[in-house]
Amino acid sequence: MEVVAPDQCEPPAGGSAVTIGAYDGVHRGHRALLARLGADAAARGLDRVVVTFDRHPATVVRPESAPKQLTDLDQKLELLADCGIDRTVVVRFDRQRADETAEEFVDEILVRALRARLVVVGEDFHFGHGRKGNVPLLRDLGASLGFEVDGVTLSGTPEGVISSTRIRRLVANGDVTAAAALLGRWHEVRGPVVHGDGRGAIELGCPTANLEVPPEIALPGDGVYAGWYRRPDGSEHSAAVSVGRRPTFHVDAPPIVEAHLIGFDGDLYGEPARVCFVARLRPERRFDSVEELVAQMRRDVDEARDLLARRPAVPDLP
């Protein structure tokens, strides 16, 4: 998959089939829309193109209420490539872009950069300054500019449409298993392994890899989880993962992600790590003594080991 900025685009001679959106999480709903795009593009001999943004538009338009992200840009691009996309155009979203009208965006990106012949978006798609752009406007513009528009009904479950917002809510509540059913994969966070306070190995007898996860990434709700730790060499290790503020030792500390690799002994400091969350074992709680905490941690490790030994599959949609 080619990844380019708008000013690096060379319009395909035969034209493009294009979809536009934040595509945070590249979840099962997104993938259904991308499959529709791919089928229509193949039938018409068009390149399959995704237009997305280098950050969530809300971080610029309403930063005080911008949502946490399910994926960083690198992971999003990896997931899009897995969907068979030919080209992803990454648009820098800044104040100038936020003030751009829907008509200006269509002219610059869809017409000039991509020579769009087909645009496939969700039926509730909005874009441009003040979110004034929508599917009816796209159809009106396409009639004069040479592209068709397919407004797709988004995939759903009995509980509602599959959306990034819905998945974020599940993740925040610690229901990573239900989130995985909508994502089509385990929720993953990434970051380098950094030094912590050293208490895990010395005082608790349970060494952990502390991930420095970017603050804009969605963390599961405070608790202990069974999950997978993936190293840069591609190896995967079962892990008991704590997300939270270590209330036995700290008060009002920021949340951290600590992964204990079960049965592993080695130096992980500095390596870029990936942690996938499979199931929540228990909520975080404060213990009255270190001994009580250590006993519970041993039970957590045993439970995580037993659960992961069964190699649970990502759940199907309800």
Tell me the catalytic residues. Answer: 258
Q: 238 CB contacts (<8 Å, ≥6 apart)?
A: 226, 228, 229, 261, 262, 263, 304, 305, 308, 309
Give the chain's radius of gyration (CA, Å).
22
Burial class of 266 by CB neighbour count within 10 A (0 to 12, 13 to 18, 19+): exposed
CA–centroid distance for 26 within its chain: 7
Structure tokens at 179: 């989130």
Which residues of 232-290 form beta strands (DSSP E)? 236-244, 256-261, 272-283
Spatial distance between the Cα atoms of 148 and 139, rounded to a whole number of angstroms: 7
Facing residues of 273 across strands? Answer: 191
